[in-house]
Structure 1
């Protein structure tokens, strides 16, 4: 899964915090998630209590809400959540994966879109297991551009640096398997596309943490490269179609996690 790698001289905290400053660009430029991918994680039913963790502007939360689930979006950025609040059917709370502001066993599912690689996993995974009900589900999703397409490969090189070929992926499976909080990992992949014009391609670029943390002059240089890619590749009035693979991972709390939860506090009742 693409980790949107930013400038190497910045800390993970600074890179993660950069998203709040580009909330509008993130919401306008980033793709949504395929309905089939969210259904694969949550199942075909309705009415689950779902936590979207690291929810950002609520693109993933909105899909879960449209599928008939009760959704709480949690994110450390008030700026991101201010955009999320404009979406119907979603409750919001400021909070972090390492300290989730919810009761023990209070949700049926935790979903994470484009954010798990930012978490401090040693602290976040026990917290996720704590808030999940027995037999609850943790679902992780990443939208990854298909860099087989030449203009997409050039775009990702512009965003990630000339030495990057757009193929960097964060694999969560080792992290999940090394934790004693979760058992087994299932995977699935879905294909989808995002229609972009010149402005939204720019906003997609601006929403990447590496670009958001550049100096103004360096950022404008990259955005000029993005504009040039659009001019060379687009055929207006047809939109420029960005191809994605959505990689999905699904796992459930281990017996140990369920046992620890019952020792700490009773499972919260269904609302």
Structure 2
């Protein structure tokens, strides 16, 4: 069966003038951030993971850790870990990971992915599980990025995927600098629909995707952190058309919208994919993404 033809859309406008999402006020930001707390299953099923090339680029900058004179897997703190998309990718690469998130529901979803190697450190006094000789481990902790309660100098790597713009950047920067060991690194990572492609740009507009940044955007960080590198990886995530429609369920605008408005978004996406673009219902399409990553080190006095 031939591939469906993509109708010619009008030229896309400039992508964005923003370095990060804008919010009407702090109350609106907090309401949108809180909207994700009960969306763990949708988020885990529909949002993509992170390309191997990005993970390799990040881990190449992480210092070696020694214990009892022997090299061992680095310790990582994944802030705003959500359902553990990035956390588990780091565990699979041998890291001892503490996944930190204020949402109990999100972290429960993360633990269900592999309960045999995950522990729950919801209370500040709970101890993380010791890593095995070659495999990484996951510990979850209910806390905010601005006040994790973890020991000073307890991580060679701090990661934040899809979440930095929800934090108080100044307070979170200070906490990251406190957590990092000497030479440790912070990695900020965003998966975004690749809106440089016209049909994807229109898809993101219908979906009300709010993570469209200017091409050369720079995250806001505090003076404790200095940028040491950045990169962009373009890639594709194959998804059934219904999953592309359902992807809107993981967007804060749609989650918080009245039922009638949500139904209109889903109907518009159905029309766009199946009638306008001509994809057969249930067929799989390659959704273009780009992953932006930024690496920082703490500024030591």
Task: Decide: shared fold, TM above 0.5.
Answer: yes
Residue of structure 2 aligned with 1:34, choices 40, 47, 51: 51
The answer to whether the 8 Å contact 1:7/1:213 transfers is: no
The answer to whether the 8 Å contact 2:82/2:106 transfers is: yes
Q: Whole-Å Cα distance in 2 between the matches of residues 98 and 147 of structure 1?
A: 31
Q: Whole-Å Cα distance in 1 between the matches of residues 165 and 219 of structure 2?
A: 12
Q: Give me the TM-score of the superposition, normalised by structure 2.
A: 0.76
Q: Does 1:208 align with 2:225?
A: no
The answer to whether the 8 Å contact 1:4/1:208 transfers is: no
Residue of structure 2 aligned with 1:217, choices 245, 256, 260: 260
The answer to whether the 8 Å contact 1:206/1:212 transfers is: yes
Deviations 1:94-153 (A, max 9, x none): 111110121100111001111001110111110111111111000001112112333312
Hey, what does 1:249 align to over in structure 2?
A: 294
Root-mean-square deviation (CA), in Å? 2.6
Deviations 1:20-76 (A, max 9, x none): 122211111111111211221122877110111101111111211111111111111
Q: Secondary structure at the match of 2:228?
A: strand
The answer to whether the 8 Å contact 2:20/2:219 transfers is: no
Hey, what does 1:66 align to over in structure 2?
A: 92
Q: Whole-Å Cα distance in 1 between the matches of residues 36 and 247 of structure 2?
A: 12
Deviations 1:201-235 (A, max 9, x none): 13311001111010111111111111222213324
Higher deviation after alignment, 205-214 or 4-13: 4-13
Shift of 1:10: 6.1
Hey, what does 1:226 align to over in structure 2?
A: 269
Would the alpha carbon gap of residues 228 and 101 (structure 1) be closer, same or farther in structure 2, given more than 3 Å must change? farther
Q: Does 1:189 align with 2:215?
A: no
Residue of structure 1 aligned with 2:159, choices 80, 92, 111: 111
Q: Whole-Å Cα distance in 2 between the matches of residues 14 and 170 of structure 1?
A: 27
Q: Which has the higher helix share?
A: 1
Q: Which has the larger radius of gyration?
A: 2
Q: Does 1:92 align with 2:109?
A: no
Higher deviation after alignment, 234-243 or 166-175: 166-175
Shift of 1:5: 6.7
Residue of structure 2 aligned with 1:24, choices 17, 21, 41: 41
Would the alpha carbon gap of residues 155 and 3 (structure 1) be closer, same or farther in structure 2, given more than 3 Å must change? farther
Would the alpha carbon gap of residues 5 and 140 (structure 1) be closer, same or farther in structure 2, given more than 3 Å must change? same
Higher deviation after alignment, 77-86 or 233-242: 233-242
Would the alpha carbon gap of residues 108 and 193 (structure 1) be closer, same or farther in structure 2, given more than 3 Å must change? same
Q: Whole-Å Cα distance in 1 between the matches of residues 153 and 215 of structure 2?
A: 28
Would the alpha carbon gap of residues 59 and 106 (structure 1) be closer, same or farther in structure 2, given more than 3 Å must change? same
Hey, what does 2:77 align to over in structure 1?
A: 51
The answer to whether the 8 Å contact 1:20/1:80 transfers is: yes
Q: Whole-Å Cα distance in 2 between the matches of residues 101 and 223 of structure 1?
A: 41
Task: Name structure 1 gaps, 5 residues minimum.
Answer: 257-271
Q: Whole-Å Cα distance in 1 between the matches of residues 290 and 187 of structure 2?
A: 16
Q: Secondary structure at the match of 1:67?
A: coil
The answer to whether the 8 Å contact 2:23/2:29 transfers is: no
